[in-house]
Structure 1
Amino acid sequence: MSVITGLGVVAPNGFGVKEYWAATLSGRSGIRELDRFDTSGYPARLAGLVDHVDPAAYLPGRLMQQTDVSTRLALIAAQAAIEDADVDTDAIADYDMGIVTANASGGFEFTHREFNKLWSRGPDHVSVYESFAWFYAVNTGQISIRHGMRGPSTAFVAEQAGGLDALGHARRTVRGGVPLVVSGGVDSAFDPWGWASHLASGRVSTDPDPAVAYRPFDVRAAGYLPGEGGAICVVEDAAAARLRGARAYGEIAGYAATFDPAPDSGRPPGLRRAAEAALADAGAGAGDVDVVFADAAGVPELDRSEAEALRDIFGVRGVPVTAPKALTGRVLSGGGMLDVVAALMSIREGVIPPTFGTTEVPAGYGIDLVLGEPRPAAVRTALVLARGRWGFNAAVVIRTFDQGS
C-alpha cells in the first residue's frame, strides 16, 4: 500500500498547502494579467501566475543560474514536501529514494533566452547550463541531485495528465520495493514563445474578466486559462511510513491511464475507461466515490464529453463534482497534482470546495457541480481526473488511510 506523507504546493493562489487550501475554499484567485512581457498584441492576456514566491529566497545562487522557472518552483515544492513529511534524507540510503515527476513544457523561458543569445550574439554567449536546463527530465534530475536520491527515477510528458501519471508510477515504484519516492508535476511556460504555444491550442479564453474568463461546465464556457506551478508529494510504503511514525494524508488506492482513439474514428474518448479502470484498480465501485475532481477543460465540447462520462459511470447527478482549477488556470502537469492536494484536504476536513466562476450548468450535462460555497461532506474516497492535449487521459483514486490499520 502506498500513502502520501508530505505535500509541497506552489500554486498561483497559494504557496504551501495551508494557503492554497484556504484560497481554494474562499475563492481567492491567482488569475491576473500576464505582465512578464508586452501582451498588448495578443488576443488573450490572463493567466494563473506564481508571482508571490521569490525563488532566490529558497535556492542557492548556483541553482538560480542553472535552472528555469519551472525547475525552481519544482525544487521549492519538493523541499516543502520533504519537510512536511518530516523525512531526514541523510538517514535513508540513497538508492532507497526515487524521483518521478512530470513536466509538459521543459525549461521554456531559460532555453528561449539562450536561443536569443545564440541568434543575436553567437554561441560563445550561450549558458553551458542550456545543455540540460531545457529538458523535460530536468526537474527529476535536479531534485535527485539536491537531496541525494539515487533510486529509480523517471519523467513523464503527458500535458495536463502528466502529474497523475507520475503519481501512479510513483505508487508502482514503491510497490516494486523502493521505500520512498518524491513525485508530482510542476510547469511554467510564460515567455513570449511559451504564451504563443498556449494560444496555439485555440482553446484559451479571450474573456478579459479574470473572475469568469475560465468557467468550466458553464453555459457560457468559452475556453480555459493557462497557469503555472504545481505540487510535489512524498509517497511511501505504508508499513515503512508507519514504522517511522509518519503522518499519512491518504492512500493512492487506484490509478489508470488511457489514450483517445484517432479523431473521426467513431470510437469514444478514453476518459471513461481511465476512470473505470482506476476504480477497479482500487477495488471500488461508483457508489464508493464521494467526490470527483474533474478535468474541467472549460471548452464546451470537452466539458460535454466529460459530463457524459461522469453520467455513464455515476448516473445523473450521482456524485458531487468540483473543479478548483478555475482559480489557478490549467497548470499542465501540475494541474492534476493540485487536485490531488485538494482531494486529500477534502478527506481530511470533510468539505468539498466549489467551482468558482461557474454559475449555470447546462441541464443536459446531468452533473452535480458544487457551486457557490464549500459543501460539507464525509469524504473517504475521491476520484481525480485529468486530460492532456493529443489524447492523454489519467485517473487516480485517493482514499482515506487508517493510521492504525
Structure 2
Amino acid sequence: MTAAVTGLGIVAPTGVGADEHWRATLAGELAVRPIEAFDASRYGTTLAGQITGFRVADHVPDRLAVQTDRWTWLALAAARLALADAAYDPSAHDPYATSVILGSGSGGNEFGQREIQALWSRGSRAVGAYQSIAWFYAASTGQVSIRHGTKGPSGVLVSDAAGGVDSLGWADRTIRRGTGAVLAGGTEAPLSPYALACQVTGGRMSAAADPRAAYKPFDTAANGHVPGEGGAVLVVEDADAAAERSAPAIYGVVAGHAATHDAHHYREAAPDGRQYARAIGQALDRAGVRPDEVDLVFADGAGTPGDDAAEAAALRAVFGPRGVPVTAPQGLVGRLCAGGSALNAATALLAMRAGVAPPVGNLDDPDPAYGLDLVREPRELRIGTVLVAARGHGGFNSALVLRRSGRTGGP
C-alpha cells in the first residue's frame, strides 16, 4: 500500500489556509513580532511567531472551546481544513477506517497555567474538571478523534520538533497495516508565561529585540530561535482508496521515514550530526532514493551556530558540498516545535505542486562555512523528491521522503 497526502490544513503565523500560507512564504513575509499576550520583557526572549486572523468560533464550537487549550483549537481547525481540502468525510466511512496520529511537544500550556494560578490563589475548588485533560499532550489527538467520530489506531508522537515528521512516518505505517486514512501532523501554542519560561531554560532562544535580527537559520548572524504557534494537519490515505473515491488531488506520497537518537545528552544535540545523517540515509534507503535524486531539502534550521553547523555537516555527509538545494522557511514564523516540522512537510508538498522552492526565512548573510546551496529567493525547480528533516530537543533526529505522485493538484 502507498500512503498519499490528499489534504492540507494549515494554521500558521503566515496564514490560515494553504493558499495564504504559501503566498506569504514565497513573498518572504516575516511573521515574527513582539509577544502580545503578556509582558515578556523579563524572559529574555520577547518575540514570537503569532497567528493573526484566527477566530476560534469559526472553527470550534463554544462548548468545546471552553474545555480545551489553544493548541487544540489550532489542531481542530487544521484538521477541519485538511478534511475539507481532501473532500474526505470520516462519517462516510467505517469509524475504524480513519485514525488520528499527531505530534506534540508542549501540550496545553495556557489552559494549564490558568488553572494552576486559580489553584494557588483560590484553592482546589477553583480548578475546573477539564484541567485533567486539556493540558495533556495527547489532548489534541483525542479531541480531533472525538469530534470526527474516528476509531482507528490513534496516538501521539512526543519527540519535540521532530514530532510532526514522525507522525507522518507513523501514518505511513498505519496505512500499510490496513487503515484507510490518517489525520497526521501537529500544532503547538507555547506562548504563555509558563511555556516561555520552560523554553528559555534550553539556552537556544534569541534575545534580539528586532524581528529581523532574531531567528536566522544558517546566517552568519544566527543567535538562537524564537518560539511560534501553529502547524499543519494532513490527510494521509491509501492511494488506491483515494483514487477509488476520486479524491480531488494527491499532493504527493510518503516514500520513506526514519528516526534515530543521538544518545549524547538530555539537553544538547550531538555536535557531529552523525546520527542525524544516519536518519537521513535510512529514510532515503527505505524510499529507494539515491541522494542525487533528491531535488530539495527542508532543513531543521535550528538557528544557533552550533546546531546549524552540525546539520550542515550531516547534509554534506549525505549529499556532498552544495549537493542539493536547501531551504528552511521557518525563519519567517519561529520554531513551532512539533507543529514546525508538520508545517514544513505541508510546505514541501506545496512546493512540489508549484515547482518552486521557497527561500530560507529571514536569511541575509549565509555562512559560507556550511557549504550548502541555500535557497535565497524563490527558485523555479522541478521537484519530484523532497527530504524533510527535523531534530528535537534532547537528541531526536527524523527524516521524511516525499515523492511526486502521478496525480497532483489542490486548491
Secondary structure of the residue that 1:279 maps to in structure 2?
Answer: helix
Whole-angstrom CA distance in 2 between matches of 1:383 and 1:266: 21
What corresponds to 1:36 in structure 2?
37
Whole-angstrom CA distance in 2 between matches of 1:19 and 1:204: 28
What corresponds to 1:262 in structure 2?
264
1:163-312 equivalences in 2 (<5 Å): 163-246=164-247, 247-263=249-265, 269-312=274-317
- Report Cα offsets for 1:28-84 as digits up to 9, x if no partner: 121110011112223220000113201122211111110000000000000000111
Per-residue deviation, 1:216:
0.8
Per-residue deviation, 1:268:
5.1
1:345 has 2:345 as partner = no
- Please tell me whether the aligned partners of residues 273 and 310 of structure 2 are also in contact (alpha carbons under 8 angstroms): no
Q: Percent identity?
A: 47
- Report Cα offsets for 1:260-303 as digits up to 9, x if no partner: 02249997541101100000010001011000000000100110
What corresponds to 2:321 in structure 1?
316
Whole-angstrom CA distance in 1 between matches of 2:369 and 2:336: 28
- Please tell me whether the aligned partners of residues 261 and 269 of structure 1 are also in contact (alpha carbons under 8 angstroms): no
Question: Which residue identity is paired with 1:146?
Answer: R
Per-residue deviation, 1:359:
2.0
- Please tell me whether the aligned partners of residues 219 and 360 of structure 1 are also in contact (alpha carbons under 8 angstroms): yes
Q: Structure 2: which 5+ residue stretches go unaligned?
A: none
TM value normalised by structure 1: 0.97
Per-residue deviation, 1:403:
2.9
> Residue 269 and residue 200 in structure 1: after superposition, are their counterparts in 2 closer, same or farther (change >3 A)?
farther
What corresponds to 1:98 in structure 2?
99
Whole-angstrom CA distance in 2 between matches of 1:266 and 1:348: 35
Secondary structure of the residue that 1:84 maps to in structure 2?
Answer: helix
Whole-angstrom CA distance in 2 between matches of 1:32 and 1:210: 6
- Please tell me whether the aligned partners of residues 102 and 158 of structure 1 are also in contact (alpha carbons under 8 angstroms): yes
Whole-angstrom CA distance in 2 between matches of 1:403 and 1:71: 32
Secondary structure of the residue that 2:101 maps to in structure 1?
Answer: strand
Question: Which residue identity is paired with 1:334?
Answer: G
Whole-angstrom CA distance in 2 between matches of 1:66 and 1:50: 21
What corresponds to 2:394 in structure 1?
390
1:47-196 equivalences in 2 (<5 Å): 47-196=48-197
What corresponds to 1:331 in structure 2?
336
Whole-angstrom CA distance in 2 between matches of 1:368 and 1:150: 44
Question: Which residue identity is paired with 1:327?
Answer: L
Whole-angstrom CA distance in 2 between matches of 1:127 and 1:56: 21
Per-residue deviation, 1:360:
2.0
Secondary structure of the residue that 1:56 maps to in structure 2?
Answer: helix
Stretches of 4+ moved more than 6 A in 1? 264-267
- Please tell me whether the aligned partners of residues 3 and 238 of structure 1 are also in contact (alpha carbons under 8 angstroms): yes
Question: Which residue identity is paired with 2:367?
Answer: P
- Please tell me whether the aligned partners of residues 260 and 397 of structure 2 are also in contact (alpha carbons under 8 angstroms): yes
Q: Indicate the larger mover: 274-283 or 32-41.
A: 32-41
- Please tell me whether the aligned partners of residues 384 and 397 of structure 1 are also in contact (alpha carbons under 8 angstroms): yes
Secondary structure of the residue that 1:79 maps to in structure 2?
Answer: helix
Secondary structure of the residue that 2:349 maps to in structure 1?
Answer: helix
Question: Which residue identity is paired with 1:298?
Answer: G
Whole-angstrom CA distance in 2 between matches of 1:356 and 1:154: 32
Q: Structure 1: which 5+ residue stretches go unaligned?
A: none
- Report Cα offsets for 1:354-393 as digits up to 9, x if no partner: 113212222221100011x201110100000000000011
Per-residue deviation, 1:159:
0.6
Whole-angstrom CA distance in 1 between matches of 2:311 and 2:271: 17
- Please tell me whether the aligned partners of residues 271 and 310 of structure 2 are also in contact (alpha carbons under 8 angstroms): no
- Please tell me whether the aligned partners of residues 387 and 400 of structure 2 are also in contact (alpha carbons under 8 angstroms): yes
- Please tell me whether the aligned partners of residues 161 and 394 of structure 1 are also in contact (alpha carbons under 8 angstroms): yes
> Residue 249 and residue 294 in structure 1: after superposition, are their counterparts in 2 closer, same or farther (change >3 A)?
same
Whole-angstrom CA distance in 2 between matches of 1:98 and 1:267: 37
Question: Which residue identity is paired with 1:322?
Answer: T
**RMSD in angstroms over aligned alpha carbons?**
1.4
> Residue 266 and residue 287 in structure 1: after superposition, are their counterparts in 2 closer, same or farther (change >3 A)?
closer
- Please tell me whether the aligned partners of residues 242 and 403 of structure 1 are also in contact (alpha carbons under 8 angstroms): no
Question: Which residue identity is paired with 2:221?
Answer: R
- Please tell me whether the aligned partners of residues 261 and 268 of structure 1 are also in contact (alpha carbons under 8 angstroms): no
Question: Which residue identity is paired with 1:367?
Answer: L
Q: How many residues align?
A: 403
Whole-angstrom CA distance in 2 between matches of 1:387 and 1:46: 22
